[in-house]
Copies of this chain bind each other. A is one copy, B any other.
Amino acid sequence: MQTQKPAAPRGPKPNPNTRDNLIRAGMRMFHEAGYTASGIKDIVDEAGLPKGSFYNHFESKEAFGEQVIDFYFEKGLPELRALLGDGNVPPLKRLQTYFEERMQGYEAAGYAGGCMLGNLSLEVADQSTAMRSRLAEHFETWSGLLETCIVQAQRTGAMKNQLPASLLARFLLNSWEGALVRMKAEKSNRPLKEFVQAVFGSILV
């Protein structure tokens, strides 16, 4: 077993609750107002913490942004896995239920916010390779979960479309992200409803 040298203490010991509170505050702000519009001062204020606490936990706003992105995706991941991996429900039905439930969530939110991964992809991808990589990786994981359903639906014959499942999964997720772009521009659920209608009424079946 490898012996790990404890890190030399420098300044006050970071409080893990503080770190968590900052990440949750940052997530709310990035989601509502965007990355650029949310200054570190705004984030610590939102978390009710002194400004110094930020740099006890994060070396830069960009490093913080990476962790906010990871936190946002990972908090939804167990539910996503459970829903899309539920063997008691036919695979195509699982996919449709997933998108319809997300639509209901966006309706309840008045079409504000949208998907933080999509928002940040357009806002910060050109400025930060580090954040961009986190976004690309999470999109890949997400597509992979859709792909599992598509493979099963193609095998059972429920899905007629025989394009490669991995391509179809990425196309589906990207189309959904695009429906969210139009949802925010229109402030209506029409793009999401039409996504469901096109995908489950024609494209996949």
Binding site for B on A (CB under 8 A): 32-34, 36-37, 112-114, 117-119, 121-123, 125-127, 132, 135-136, 139, 161, 163, 167-168, 170-171, 173-182, 184-187, 190-191, 194-195, 197-198, 201-203
Contact = CB atoms under 8 A, between A and B. Distances in A.
Contact of A195 (B34, B114, B171): B171
11 contacts: A32-B126, A113-B126, A114-B122, A117-B185, A122-B181, A161-B202, A168-B198, A170-B194, A171-B195, A174-B195, A175-B175
A174 B167 contact: no
B170 A202 contact: no
B139 A185 contact: yes
Contacts of A163: 197-198, 201-202
A184 B125 contact: yes
Given A118-B122, A122-B123, A182-B170, A132 B187 contact: yes
A32 B122 CA distance: 10
A120 to B, nearest CB: 9
Nearest to A37: B36
Given A121-B184, A174-B175, 7 more contacts: A139-B185, A167-B197, A167-B198, A168-B198, A174-B191, A175-B178, A202-B203
Contacts of A139: 182, 185-186
B187 A167 contact: no
Given A174-B179, A175-B175, A175-B178, A184 B122 contact: yes
Contacts of A177: 177-178, 181-182
Contacts of A121: 181-182, 184-185
Contact of A123 (B34, B167, B202): B34
